[in-house]
């Protein structure tokens, strides 16, 4: 624990016992270790400040129009020891919902962004999808589960990501964001490999009780899914807003539109918070920071989930910069991780099939249009590939089928629609 507390923010010690026990993130510690021990990694970061500055000074058009909406296929590896740690599909999907909100500027609490920071609110225009194809091309729910004899994992434990040691291997990082959900040793919420690290450890590791929103064994203050929002910001190259300098006011986050900040923030402070260095001229020279104080509501601070509400425009520029041609995450743009799996041919372009609501409760509506009369077979599978129900109909034109799923348990399912014009598979979730 001594090592863990070495990098913990000093402010940590001044808060209540329950909050002081939490260490939100160990990403910077991992980054520091790589900088010390890995020459290739060190070389990657030698000019990172200049690179990040270049992305932030790109034109607005270059930042957004060229890449459009970025879609990141996600695989979630659940390593569980107790039943509680084997979190539900619904809890996992709730986290994907949070990520899609936070990374597209659609978070419900964006109204909390103080007036003085509203012009800096960044819309990432990044979406996350649960993988539908494994690296081998087979269909998947995007969730892997494995029971482990390890009761809790220390930060950086290599067995988490090694199937031969009881863990679950990373999927090809050029196509997937790997998320391991495990029981981390008290009291760490998560840590991430920043760009430039090894392929077999690429991704983020998150405490099972700080992953998701609204369902499952979530812990107070960290139950709105913002641990993953924060950690994936690291996966896309962002540093902490206070600069990881132990409150010295000198450490950079290399982001122009975040105010200079001494320490990390725990809890849910009232705005504004003027700290010991906020009154100095910011590294960004943007006026107004003394009035607005520090940006404790930034996802790359340590505030409670409910207090976090924004990335900045320049943080978005950096995250998206990593997808530019030749950059570290560029290959994700051509990933087929969320494409139709092998054995499921794309259906005729004149045909569409839509499932709603998703998640569903008792009825899944299957809306479709077929250009010619056809035999349509609808089959639902559970995540282990077990056939649950099937129905055959003869349809043409625009139609709607109501599939009664009231007998199915809450979870993630795959619906495969076979027609004589082709087949298609879609995920749907059931909540209870
Ligand atoms: Zn962090």
Q: Residue 397: give its domain's CATH number.
A: 2.60.40.1930
Q: Which residues contact 429 (CB under 8 A, 6 or more apart)?
A: 89, 90, 93, 358, 359, 360, 410, 411, 412, 413
**What is the spatial distance between Cα 85 and Cα 208, in angstroms, rounded to a whole number?**
6
Residuewise pLDDT in 10s, the chain (432 residues)? 333 333 445 334 334 434 548 999 999 999 999 999 999 999 999 999 999 999 999 887 777 667 889 999 999 999 999 999 999 988 999 999 999 999 999 999 999 999 989 999 999 999 999 998 899 988 788 999 999 999 999 999 999 999 999 999 999 999 999 999 999 998 999 999 999 999 999 999 999 999 999 999 999 999 999 999 999 999 999 999 999 998 888 889 999 899 889 899 999 999 999 887 754 444 445 555 667 889 999 999 999 999 999 999 999 999 999 999 999 999 999 999 988 766 554 444 445 667 788 778 888 887 766 656 566 677 777 766 677 777 766 656 666 777 888 888 877 787 777 766 666 777 778 877
Tell how far the Cα of 332 is from the centroid of ligand 1, in angstroms.
22
Q: Are residues 267 and 151 in the same domain?
A: yes
Same domain, 298 and 248: yes
204 occurs within a structural domain: yes
> 346 in a domain, yes or no?
no
For residues 313 and 402, membership in a common domain is answered with no
Residues having C-beta closer than 5 Å to ion ligand 1: 25, 27
Closest by Cα among 361, 343, 299 to 112: 299
Range of the domain at 26: 2-334
Tokens of 363: 């009825």
25 alpha carbon – ligand 1 mean position (Å): 4
For residue 345, tell me if it sits in a domain.
no
CA 234 / ligand 1 centre spacing (Å): 7
Residue 286 CA to ligand 1 centre (angstroms): 24
| Residues 329 and 356 reside in one and the same domain | no
344 domain residue, yes or no = no
188 and 42 belong to one structural domain: yes
- Domain check: are 277 and 379 in the same one? no
Which secondary-structure segment (H or E) carries 316?
helix 313-321
CA of 231 to the centre of ligand 1 (A): 6
In the structure encoding, which two tokens stand for residue 341, read together? 């799996």
CA 103 – ligand 1 centroid, Å: 16
If asked whether residues 270 and 377 sit together in one domain, one would say: no
Residue ending a domain, among 334, 366, 389, is 334
Same domain, 327 and 357: no
Residue 76 placed within a domain: yes
14 and 72 part of one domain: yes
Interval between CA 298 and ligand 1 midpoint (Å) = 11
Span from the CA of 288 to the centroid of ligand 1 (angstroms): 26
In degrees and rounded to multiples of 5, residue 10 shows phi and psi of: -60, -35
Do residues 315 and 372 both lie within one domain?
no
Between the CA of 22 and the centroid of ligand 1 the distance, in Å, is 13
SS3 140: coil
Q: Which residues are catalytic?
A: 231
Give 198 Cα–ligand 1 centroid separation in angstroms: 19
Instruction: State pLDDT tens for residues 118-162.
Output: 999 999 999 999 998 899 988 788 999 999 999 999 999 999 999
Cβ partners under 8 Å of residue 74, min gap 6? 96, 128, 129, 130, 131, 142, 176, 177, 179
Q: Is residue 110 part of a domain?
A: yes
Q: How far apart are CA 243 and CA 230, in angstroms?
A: 15
pLDDT for 282: 43
Bridge partners of 153, per DSSP, are 184
CATH number, domain with residue 177: 3.40.390.10
318 and 202, same domain (yes or no) = yes
Count of domains forming the chain = 2
Q: Which residues pair with 424 in a beta bridge?
A: 417
**Is the residue at 341 inside a domain?**
no
Last residue of one domain, picked from the residues 302, 334, 366: 334
Do residue 160 and residue 283 come from a single domain? yes
- Could you tell me if residue 343 is inside a domain? no
Q: Report how far ligand 1's centroid is from the alpha carbon of 157 (Å).
A: 18
CA distance 382 to 427: 10
Task: Compute the distance from residue 281 Cα to the ligand 1 centre, in Å.
Answer: 25
- φ, ψ of residue 173 to 5 degrees: the values are -70, -15
């Amino acid at each position: 624990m001594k090592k863990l507390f070495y990098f913990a923010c000093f402010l940590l010690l001044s808060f209540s016992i329950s909050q002081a026990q939490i260490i939100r993130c160990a990403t910077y510690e991992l980054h520091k270790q790589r900088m010390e021990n890995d020459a290739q990694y060190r070389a990657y970061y030698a000019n990172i400040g200049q690179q990040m500055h270049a992305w932030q000074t790109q034109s607005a058009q270059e930042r957004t129009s060229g890449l459009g909406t970025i879609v990141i296929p996600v695989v979630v590896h659940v390593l569980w020891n107790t039943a509680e740690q084997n979190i539900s599909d619904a809890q996992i999907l709730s986290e994907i919902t949070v990520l899609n909100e936070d990374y597209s500027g659609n978070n419900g609490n964006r109204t909390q962004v103080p007036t003085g920071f509203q012009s800096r609110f960044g819309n990432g225009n990044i979406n996350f999808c649960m993988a539908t194809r494994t690296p081998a091309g087979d269909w998947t729910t995007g969730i892997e589960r494995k029971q482990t004899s390890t009761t809790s994992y220390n930060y950086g434990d290599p067995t988490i990501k090694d199937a031969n040691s009881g863990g679950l291997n990373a999927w090809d990082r050029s196509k997937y964001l790997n998320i391991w959900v495990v029981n981390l040793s008290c009291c760490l919420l998560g840590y991430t490999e920043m760009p430039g690290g090894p392929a077999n450890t690429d991704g983020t590791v998150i405490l099972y009780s700080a992953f998701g929103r609204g369902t499952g064994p979530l812990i107070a203050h960290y139950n709105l899914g913002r641990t993953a929002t924060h950690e994936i910001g690291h996966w896309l190259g962002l540093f902490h807003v206070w600069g990881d300098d132990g409150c010295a006011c000198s450490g950079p986050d290399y982001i122009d539109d975040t105010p200079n900040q001494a320490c990390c923030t725990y809890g849910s402070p009232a705005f504004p918070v003027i700290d010991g260095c906020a009154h100095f001229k910011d590294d960004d020279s943007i006026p107004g920071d003394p009035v607005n104080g520090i940006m404790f509501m930034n996802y790359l601070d340590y505030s409670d989930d409910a207090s976090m509400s924004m990335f900045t425009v320049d943080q978005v520029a950096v995250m998206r910069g990593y997808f530019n041609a030749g950059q570290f995450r560029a290959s994700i743009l051509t990933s087929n991780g969320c494409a139709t799996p092998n054995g499921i041919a794309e259906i005729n372009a004149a045909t569409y099939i839509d499932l709603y609501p998703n998640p569903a409760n008792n009825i899944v509506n299957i809306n479709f249009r077929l250009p010619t009369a056809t035999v349509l077979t609808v089959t639902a599978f559970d995540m282990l590939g077990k056939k649950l129900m099937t129905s055959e109909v003869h349809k043409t034109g625009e139609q709607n089928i109501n599939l009664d799923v009231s007998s199915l348990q809450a979870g993630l399912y795959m619906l495969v629609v076979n027609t004589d014009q082709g087949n298609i598979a879609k995920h749907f979730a059931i909540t209870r």
